[in-house]
Amino acid sequence: METLKPLLAEHPFFEGLEPRHLDLIVGCATNVRFDAGTFIFREGEEANAFYIIRHGQVALEIFVPQRGPITIETIGQGEVLGWSWLFPPYHWHFDARAVTLTRAIALDGKCLRTKCEEDHDLGYQLVKRFAHIIMQRLQATRLQLLDVYGVHS
Amino acid sequence: MMGASGIQVGDVVVIERAHLERLFDALRQRGYQIVGPTVRDEAIIYDLLTSAEDLPIGWTDEQDGGYYRLKRRNDEAVFGYAVGPHSWKKFVHPPALRLWRAERENGRFRVIEETEMGPPFAFIGVRSCELHALAIQDKIFLEGAFVDPVYKARRSGAFIVAVNCGQAGGTCFCASMNTGPRVTFGFDLALTELLDAERHEFIVEVGTERGAELLGDVPCRAANDAERAAVDELVAKTAAHMGRTMETGDIKELLYRHYEHPRWDDVARRCLTCGNCTMVCPTCFCTTVEEVTDLSGQRAERWRKWDSCFTLDFTYLAGGRVRASAKARYRQWMTHKLATWIDQFGTSGCVGCGRCITWCPVAIDITEEVRAIRESERTESAPSPGKEQ
Amino acid sequence: MVPHPYRVRRRRRETHDTFTLELQPASREGTAQEKPIMRGESAEWDIPATASQPLSTIPAFLPGQFNMLYVFGVGEVPISISGDPADPTTVVHTIRAVGTVTTALRQLRPGDMVGVRGPFGSHWPLSDAEGNDVVLIAGGIGLAPLRPAVYRILAERVKYGRVVLLYGTRTPADILYRRELARWRGHFDFDVLITVDHALGNWRGNVGVVTTLIARAPFDPLNTVAMICGPEVMMRFAARELVRRGVPAERIFISMERNMKCAIGFCGHCQFGPTFVCKDGPVFPYRSVKDLLTIREL
């Protein structure tokens, strides 16, 4: 586990976190790898982790009957995947599929949820960071909804 | 500099009313097409004149917001009215103009340039506000990176007989815009009409050598001090009787501060977006270009026509129109006229002639719109009454 | 105000609604030597200039400028120049067929004539950008006006720091210049990141708006010049994201689009606040138009 600490400490997502909080988080981290085409999680499954993508590309997809899988967005190197682990009822809303070979650090959501309940300072730090990511994704999604390249009249 | 007549630039002479026709003769002899005010369709418009008798002799006008009526004067004044719906831009910047044409042959086409150029114009009865308007259009068509050859030819050849206004119109506010009523530049000859029981004559200031030269063919004598003083008096009286006023201090910043203002919604409820204001405005210069083809498809012509920022298609782009609402279009017009014009050309686009007020079918008044926005600031910053008890 | 006669030398389909025309000057009267020659699948038109009939051509352009293209019997339309500034004889335009004139331009075939006036307007600040990282952000057809900048940068690559092109389109099928993008990507010192707004599961590239690429792009915000071209909303969001990453607003440039009839400041149609897009633009420093961009229906 200790080998993951410098990786996490360097990641922008954890920037500015107190060492004691980082120690708690490292305790919940594991190294994972997904071959191209494999699913990291699927819609409806229990959401018990989030991922810091170290390498590769992940597509968030939804399967639409008659149309097939549609990619909502892609998440790449250095970015964070998954926030449903933080909010009840802790189920994934989309499928996440590795588009290419993907290496990531998985953070155990159950473990982190418990630690956040025990240490609200840690909880605040994590929720603040996720809120920022959610805000950015929401803004991007709003822009995507505008369909700016389409012809409108 | 002495002309053949002995008259010099800067001289002030007197032409009797009876000799006005001689001025026309002299212009005609020099090859000018004479254009000036004349009565048509119950308005004073600008058109080709054959004689001084075509001028609106004995007529005046009553003007107010959305209101224009001709009225008989109780004298035979020649220039006893304010400006009408026309302006000189229709001669220097024609309402419709063929730019070039193209002919198709053997799967290719050939472009044929226009070389049209009629005889030069002599403009009779150009008011001070109109000289300012011409100078403003000069900045657009002559003084930028590109020069409009049509405007240049028509403008530079024109002989200008200006007139000092002996009375202000009901919608005039040149005194507010510093564009009149006294003619100060840009003329060959500047006339002031003096008419009372003893006399009917024109005090003429000579602005150019060609003006001086022309007077060699017109009977005239040097003006005396009393006559010069009469001109000052008359113009001062006109300046004191402006039908409208506009406070122009800080006006660019004022409008830039208020791109968003409830007054734009208010005026948009009244505005018909008919574009009359842009057509009568002596400085509005916008045009569109239309492709005109014949039935055989072998000939095409490019026609430049006056356009108005009040039309929906003015800002058409694939996917929509930039200024779709009436509010945005009125705001564009007024903000351009009074504010962005200053950034673009170093001068206001408004000369205070009042045409846009008179010819607006719903009497929208640019001076009122400015006042409303200005006063809203004063109300905001003023302490609200009745709060301190 | 009178166009120069040009002929379509080559026409290439880029996407379902977008195509590229290569134009070469035509003699005013036409000569017998003018005939199409077949090269592969497409006919090309070669026009020999004769000493007795010098060809009437437009002057050389700077990346970011535009021309007015005239179609006989239809009309004239402003189109950005998308060719190589180092090749002054060929005028290249990538055009999206969305209106009457652009649809008529799509009907043109090699040998057909068009009128060309230009080049007009301001250009990308490529000289000022020397010594800096360069971030090019294109949305949709917005890649076309940036392509001459790419050519110039690649031709003078040593003058610039890191160079990255961020390109977003609606779907994978809307991506322009695929082959060239692949070639540019092949340069070890030229990053190309592409994303699409919408994709099916078989697309292996990025999905998301082009602004999401800004955070992933390698550049030094304090020593960067950014050039953005695309729909107005996309440019607004992209510029804001660059500022958030630390790029000074005066080093961000955007290319505006407005209705134009004359391209020389006479017709008044392209006014954008106090500016004329035809002569003050189309390329503006973001700082100078930032506030205007937020005024509705300006």
Structure tokens at C106: 């799509």
Mean pLDDT on B315-319: 88
pLDDT value at position A153? Answer: 55
Domain boundaries, chain A: 4-146
Handedness of CA B81, B284, B178, B202 (dihedral sign): negative
Report if residue C282 sits inside a domain.
yes
Q: Are residues C26 and C111 in the same domain?
A: yes
Residue C43 has pLDDT above 70, yes or no: no
| Residues C114 and C145 grouped into a single domain | no
Residues 6+ apart with CB under 8 A from C173: C15, C16
Structural tokens at position C122: 């301001």
Closest approach of B252 to chain C, Cα-based (Å): 11
| Same domain for C288 and C141 | yes
Task: Look at chain C and report how many structural domains it folds into.
Answer: 2
Overall residue count recorded for chain A in this entry: 153
Chain B hits for C98, CB-CB cut-off 8 Å, are: 318-319
| B338: DSSP letter | I
Query: C249 pLDDT exceeds 90?
Result: yes
Instruction: Report yes or no on B64 lying in a domain.
Output: yes
A151 and B320 in contact by Cβ < 8 A? no
Specify if C298 maps to a domain: no
Nearest residue in B to A151, CA atom: B319
Q: What percent of chain B has pLDDT over 90?
A: 90
> Which residue in B114, B146, B281 has the most chain C C-beta atoms within 10 A of its own C-beta, making it the best mutation to test that interface?
B146
Q: Which of A41-45, B50-54, C43-47, C290-294 has the lowest mean pLDDT?
A: C43-47
Residue B82 domain-assigned (yes or no): yes
Same-domain pairing of C88 and C227 = no
Residue C254 lies in a domain: yes
List the single residue in C200, C216, C234 with the smallest CB-CB distance to A70: C200
How close, in Å, is residue A88 to chain C by CA atoms?
A: 27
* A95 token code pair: 């499928």
Q: Do C68 and C168 belong together in one domain? A: no
Of all residues in chain C, what percent are helix, strand and coil, respectively (each to 5)? 25, 35, 45
B18 three-state secondary structure: helix
Whether residue C13 contacts residue C93, with contact meaning beta carbons closer than 8 Å, is answered with no
Does C52 share its domain with C79?
yes
* pLDDT of amino acid B115: 79
pLDDT, average across residues C272-298: 96
The pLDDT of residue C1 is 81
Domain that holds residue B20: 12-240
Statement to judge: residues B103 and B204 lie in one domain: yes
Strands A95-98 and A39-41: antiparallel
pLDDT at C42 over 60: no
Domain of C281? 133-293
pLDDT band at B209 (very low <50, low <70, confident <90, very high): very high
Examine the domain organization and report whether B227 and B322 are in the same domain.
Answer: no
| C210 and C273 co-located in one domain | yes
Last residue of some domain: B181, B206, B240? Answer: B240
Q: For A30-72, write each residue's pLDDT tens digit.
A: 999 999 999 999 999 999 999 999 999 999 999 988 888 999 9
- In a shared domain, residues C173 and C263: yes
> What pLDDT, on the 0 to 100 scale, is given for residue A66?
85
- Domain finish residue from B211, B240, B269: B240
Provide the pLDDT for residue C50. 47
CA-closest candidate to residue B118, choices B31, B211, B8, B222: B31
The answer to whether residue C30 scores a pLDDT higher than 70 is no
Q: A141-145, B364-368, C48-52, C221-225: which has the minimum mean pLDDT? A: C48-52
Residues 6+ apart with CB under 8 A from A124: none
Q: What b-and-e string marks burial along C146-158, b requiring 16 or more CB atoms within 10 Å of the CB?
A: bbbbbbbbbeeee
Q: Are A123 and A117 in contact (CB under 8 A)?
A: yes
| Residues listed for chain C | 298
Please tell me the predicted confidence (pLDDT) of residue B352.
98
B90 and B121 in a common domain: yes
Give the model's confidence band at B321: pLDDT under 50 very low, under 70 low, under 90 confident, else very high. Answer: very high
pLDDT confidence of residue A150 = 84
Q: Would you place residue C284 in the very low, low, confident or very high pLDDT band (cuts 50, 70, 90)? A: very high
Last residue of a domain, one of C88, C120, C152: C120
- pLDDT at residue number C37: 47
Q: In this complex, is the C-beta atom of A153 within 8 Å of any C-beta atom belonging to chain B?
A: yes
Give the nearest partner residue to B316 out of C111, C259, C295, using CB atoms.
Answer: C259
Lookup result for tokens 């399967």: A63
* Pair C243, C139 in one domain: yes
- CB neighbourhood size of B185 (10 A): 11
| Helix, strand, coil percentages, rounded to 5, for chain A | 40, 30, 30
Residue B340 sits in the same domain as residue B213: no
A105 to chain B, minimum CA–CA distance in Å?
Answer: 45
CA distance A150 to chain B (A): 9
Structure tokens at B103: 């002919």
Closest CA to A72 of A45, A97, A103, A35: A97
Q: Across residues B198-226, what is the average pLDDT?
A: 96
Q: How far apart are CA C179 and CA C192, in angstroms?
A: 13
3-state secondary structure of B154: helix
Residue at a domain's end among B185, B219, B240: B240
Mean pLDDT score, C104-113: 95
Distance from CA of B203 to the nearest CA of C (A): 38
Domain identity same for B280 and B186: no
Determine which of A146, A147, A153 to mutate to test the interface with B (most B C-beta atoms within 10 Å): A153
Asked if pLDDT for residue B3 goes beyond 70, the answer is no
Same domain membership, residue C152 and residue C188: yes
Q: What is the mean pLDDT of chain B?
A: 94
Q: What is the spatial distance between Cα C154 and Cα B66, in angstroms, rounded to a whole number?
A: 62
Under an 8 A CB cutoff, do B289 and C261 touch?
yes
B386 part of contact set with chain A, CB < 8 Å: no
ipTM above 0.95, yes or no: no
A152–B contact, CB cutoff 8 A: yes
Cβ-based contacts of B320 with chain A (< 8 Å)? 152-153
C184 within a domain of the structure (yes/no): yes
CB contact under 8 A, A147 and C197: yes
- Chain C residues with CB-CB distance to A132 below 8 A: none
**Quick one: B192 and B338 in the same domain?**
no
Q: Tokens standing for B180?
A: 């009149």
Whether B5 shows a pLDDT value over 90: the answer reads no
For residue C183, what pLDDT band results from cuts at 50, 70 and 90? very high
B36 and B144, same domain (yes or no): yes
- The two three-digit tokens of residue B322, written as one number: 């930039």
List, as one string, the DSSP characters of B163-224. Answer: E--SS--TT--HHHHT--SS--SS-SEEEEEEESSS-EEEEEEE-SHHHHHHHTTS--EEPP
Are both B327 and B187 inside the same structural domain? no
Do B84 and B230 lie in a common domain?
Answer: yes
Strand partners, C228: C137, C254
For the cut 50, the answer to whether the pLDDT of residue C48 exceeds it is: no
Residue B313 contacts A, CB cutoff 8 Å: no
State the pLDDT at residue B6. 87
Chain A residue with Cα closest to B324: A153
Each residue's pLDDT tens digit, B248-302: 999 999 999 999 999 999 999 999 999 999 999 999 999 999 999 998 889 999 9
Which of A57, A70, A143 shows the shortest C-beta gap to C237?
A143
| Under 8 Å between Cβ of B171 and B376 | no
Domain shared by B74 and B172, yes or no = yes
What is the architecture of the domain spanning A4-146? Sandwich (2.60)
Query: What digits encode the pLDDT tens for the residues B9-18?
Result: 999 999 999 9
Residue C49 has pLDDT above 90, yes or no: no
pLDDT digits (tens, 9 = 90+) for C127-178: 999 999 999 999 999 999 999 999 999 999 999 999 999 999 999 999 999 9
C153 and C85 housed in the same domain: no
Shortest CA distance to A52 belongs to which of A32, A71, A35? Answer: A32
Nearest chain A Cα distance for residue C43, angstroms: 31
Counted domains in chain B? 2
User: Contact C200/A78, CB-based, under 8 Å?
Assistant: no
Q: Are residues C35 and C86 in the same domain?
A: yes
User: Are the C-beta atoms of residues C60 and C40 closer than 8 Å to each other?
Assistant: no
Contacts of B324 in chain C (CB under 8 A): 297
Do B48 and B195 have their domain in common?
yes
Q: Report how far residue B193's alpha carbon sits from residue B238's, in angstroms, rounded to the nearest whole number.
A: 13
